[in-house]
Structures are given as C-alpha cells and as structure tokens.
C-alpha cells in the first residue's frame, strides 16, 4: 500500500500533561494534541513550521486564526494557522474526511490528476443532514454513495454491512468492495491549502506593512491602475503585488475600502493580505495565482478544456460572487481579466472593490477606457451599480468562458454596444455552446435588474448543470 494511504499513529488520549519550563518550577498543565493536515513553512521568526502528520500541543487559542503551539518531537514553539491543523484522533483529522463540501467540489478534487482510481473521500451529506456521503474515483467517473446512520449511531452503505464508525467502514472497504465500484485505497489528496488570515499573526493585526518587506521580482502585467508583480514578502512568502500609479486613487478612500475587502474571506476570492500606503506608489499585497488571468489562460493552456471543465470554472466564479452577494458587497468590474487561475484549474475572483476607489475624473482625463462591454446598462447610463449589475457582468464572463476568451461584442464599438443593448440586442449563442448554458447568459442580461437571477441561483444552476448523481 502506498504512502498516500498511511494514517497517523493513534494514541489513547487527545491531551497530554506537559511541564512548561519545568526547570523554572512552572505548574504542570494540560494541552490538547493536534495534527498537521497540510505542510506549513514558517514565514516569520514567530512562526512554527511543520509537516502534514506532525503532532503538536496547542498552548494558546487566544487568537482564533493564529494559535501558539509546540511540536511534540522537537519541542519548538511558535504561531501556526489554525486552519492547517485538526484535533488528533478526531474525524476532522482523518485525511479522507472533508466535512461540509458539496458533491461538485468532491468531484473537482477527485478528478485532479494527482488522485488515481480508487481514491476516495467522505463528506457530510448535502441532502440528508446527519448522514454522510462517500465519493469514490472509478475508471470513468466519480461515484457517490450515501452512508446511512441509524439511531444507535451505527453506519452502513450497502448489503447491510454495519459499522460502528467511519474509520471501521473505511478499513473494511480497503480490502473488500462489497457492492462499491472499487476498493477504498487512497484518501483524496488536496492540492489547495486553506487561506491563512493574513501573511502572519502580526501582519494580520497590523496590515499596513513597510515596503522594505516586499521585494518585487517579475512584472506580470499592467492595467488602468498600475502594474502587477510577482514578489516576495519577508524573504519567505511568494505574493502578488499590485502597484497603484500616483494620483489614481485617494489614499483615504483606498484604505476605507481596503479595510472592508480584507475582511472578505472565501476560497473563491483572492485574499488581500496587506497594503503599503505611506508613500506612493501604493502597494496591494495579495495572494499569488500561478496561471494569471482567466482570459489569458483560456487562450493558452486552457484552450483544450472540455465543456465540463468550462462549466465548472463558471460555477467556481458564481460561488465567489454568491459570497459577495451574501455580504451585500458589489464587485463593479467582474470580467474574465479579473478572475485568476491557480493549480488544477482553481479560479478566484480578483480586483474586488478597486473600481470604487478610482478617481473617475483622473481616469477620463488620461483617456482610460471604461469597461462598457461588461457593464449593465443601468450602471453605465445612470451609475446604478448593484449585485444585479454584477449578474449582468457575469453573463458576459459566461460568454468569455465558453468561447475560450474570445473578444465580446466583436466588431461593435463601445458606443454602439450600449445603444444596441438598449434596443434589445444580445450577443448570439456561440458555436458549440449548449442551449441551457446560453439560456443562463440571457437570464443574466434581462433588461429589468430585478428579473435577473441571484448568484446563489446561478451557482446552483451551474453546479447541477450535468445532473450528476449523488
């Protein structure tokens, strides 16, 4: 059996009694044992680096995002991101248990190349609270099985074989199929690590950082506001840095908006880590994504993606936008150029809130182009931006995705676009585009903003697009 199938050594207790500074006579105390779920490389001198599977004692949880811990083997101490660990022997500590994720996310993870046939995961059931779902990678697809839980707590999948725990269930199906499509050999490998709250505990508290901590490495692109660079923070951590050209934004307005954006945290949104505003150009320090913008990715490496993957990308974007919708936050500039792509096709919405802080008079004076082809008519004409105007923009993003980044409204000028849209024109259905997908685009482009779907509905429609079982 490969190393991917190994499980951590089990102990009889989740806590240990340790003597803190025994030589100084400090009283013996109890500390819970946790296990690393992902590798974490220390970023500052106060951090504690560890590997997946390492055991550690949690000394303090005063900061909900950054706990103080001590490694069991080396007794080194420092701060760790709480999202990278789980209580030892708990269900969350099992490599195969992913908790509250949706079926489509399970399929996305299991279909990654690193996961071979007979890889599996267990998650909370979406349709039957209290039960679980088993997702298994078969030869041609991911298959899903309901794990039933009886009143006495016992569990079963098929054929009446009963188990007292999910661990017992997994151990049984490792060696016997008993009605499943295949054995459960390897827990699903997760290539995407959780976001950390800021770059470090201190940077999360005081997110205005000194520019000397940032080293700009490679220029990735340039836009209306400034340039985007790949950089390194504190000599340890790769980041993306957006440099804002002098005069483009009011520092006061920028900071006000940035404070809001920094609190927005979702797996499908690019995280803003920190800012440098003491001198121009202003720096925005953000999460780095390997493949850059979605529009360029679709024209290049993503050119061979099949329709299933394209719809999945659209669903990911809708998921991030649904979160913004729940937070009553308006993006104002949703477009494929402002969606970034990471490993294994993971997509995240970027440039959240930037449009709100632009000096509009300065922009017009310098001849910068307003993204009229992505903007809802009520927003372009009357400046009425809303979640529903974001939905209109999402319809244009759907067009960009299904056409592999082709220009929108080809052969039509910005001025003509607005006039034609007011007359009822909508982009025609692209070649090889499913009718059901195009219908979603048309729903997004409804003349009446109130009649456009919510992002919650759009997310559901796209996630259920192929009606997979499970």
**CB 240 within 8 Å of CB 174:** no
Which of 213, 269, 211 lies closest to 243, judged by CA?
A: 211
CA dist 306 → 142, 298, 392, 401, 402 (Å): 17, 11, 25, 11, 10
Which of 40, 45, 18 lies closest to 30, judged by CA?
A: 18
**CB 181 within 8 Å of CB 136:** yes
Q: Pick the catalytic residue: 47, 54, 312, 333?
A: 333
Round to whole Å and give the CA distance between 276 and 284: 7
**CB 440 within 8 Å of CB 458:** yes
For residue 48 the two structure tokens come to 């504690």
**CB 304 within 8 Å of CB 407:** no
Strand partners, 135: 121, 144
**Can 333 be counted among the known catalytic residues?**
yes
Which of 427, 431, 433 lies closest to 395, judged by CA?
A: 427
Evaluate the CA torsion angle 426, 430, 436, 437 in order and state its sign. Answer: negative
**CB 313 within 8 Å of CB 345:** yes
Residue bearing tokens 């509250």: 100
For residue 146 the two structure tokens come to 């309901």
For residue 402 the two structure tokens come to 């299904």
3-state secondary structure of 58: strand
Pairing of strands 29-36, 15-18: antiparallel
For residue 419 the two structure tokens come to 């006039």
For residue 212 the two structure tokens come to 């000397």
Pairing of strands 55-60, 29-36: antiparallel
Round to whole Å and give the CA distance between 430 and 185: 42
3-state secondary structure of 295: helix
CA dist 404 → 296, 339, 346, 351, 445 (Å): 9, 14, 16, 21, 20
Round to whole Å and give the CA distance between 419 and 381: 11
To 5 degrees, how large is the angle CA 409–CA 410–CA 416? 60
Active site residues: 333
């Amino acid at each position: 059996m490969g190393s991917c199938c190994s499980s951590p050594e089990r102990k009889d207790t989740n806590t240990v009694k340790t003597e803190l500074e025994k030589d100084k006579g400090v009283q013996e105390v109890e500390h819970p044992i946790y296990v690393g779920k992902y590798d974490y490389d220390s970023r500052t001198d106060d951090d504690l680096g560890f590997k997946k599977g390492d055991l550690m004692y949690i000394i303090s949880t005063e900061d909900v995002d950054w706990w103080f811990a001590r490694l069991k083997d080396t007794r080194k101490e420092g701060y760790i991101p709480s999202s990278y660990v789980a209580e030892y022997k708990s269900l969350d500590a099992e490599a195969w248990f992913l908790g509250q994720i949706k079926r489509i996310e399970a399929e996305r993870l299991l279909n990654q190349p690193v996961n071979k046939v007979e890889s599996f995961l267990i998650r909370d059931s979406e349709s039957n609270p209290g039960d679980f779902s088993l997702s298994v990678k078969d030869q041609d697809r991911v298959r899903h099985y309901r794990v039933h839980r009886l009143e006495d707590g016992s569990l079963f999948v098929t054929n009446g074989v009963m188990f007292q725990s999910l661990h017992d269930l997994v151990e049984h199906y490792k060696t016997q199929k008993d009605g499943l499509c295949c054995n459960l050999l390897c827990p699903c490998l997760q290539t995407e690590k959780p976001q950390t709250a800021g770059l470090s505990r201190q940077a999360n508290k005081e997110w205005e950082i000194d520019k000397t901590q940032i080293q700009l490495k490679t220029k990735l692109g340039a836009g209306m506001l400034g340039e985007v660079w790949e950089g390194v923070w504190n000599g340890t951590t790769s980041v993306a840095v957006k440099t804002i050209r002098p005069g483009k934004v009011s520092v006061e307005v920028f900071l006000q908006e940035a404070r809001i954006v920094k609190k927005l945290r979702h797996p499908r949104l690019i995280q803003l880590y920190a800012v440098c505003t003491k001198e121009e150009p202003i720096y925005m320090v953000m999460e780095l994504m390997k493949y850059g913008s979605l529009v360029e990715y679709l024209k290049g490496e993503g050119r061979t993606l099949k329709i299933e993957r394209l719809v999945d990308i659209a669903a990911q974007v809708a998921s991030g936008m649904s979160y913004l919708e729940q937070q009553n936050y308006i993006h104002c500039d949703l477009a494929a150029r402002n969606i970034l792509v990471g490993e294994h096709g993971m997509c995240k919405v970027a440039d959240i809130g930037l449009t709100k802080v632009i000096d509009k008079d300065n922009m017009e004076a310098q001849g910068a182009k307003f993204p009229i082809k992505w903007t809802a008519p009520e927003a372009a004409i009357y400046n009425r931006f809303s979640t529903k105007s974001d939905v209109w923009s999402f319809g244009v993003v759907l067009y960009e995705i299904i056409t592999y980044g082709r220009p929108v409204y080809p052969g039509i000028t910005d001025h003509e676009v607005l006039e034609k849209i007011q007359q009822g024109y909508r982009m025609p259905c692209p070649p090889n585009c499913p009718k059901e997908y195009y219908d979603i685009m048309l729903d997004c482009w409804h003349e009446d903003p109130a009649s456009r779907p919510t992002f919650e509905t759009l997310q559901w429609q796209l996630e259920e697009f192929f009606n997979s079982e499970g």
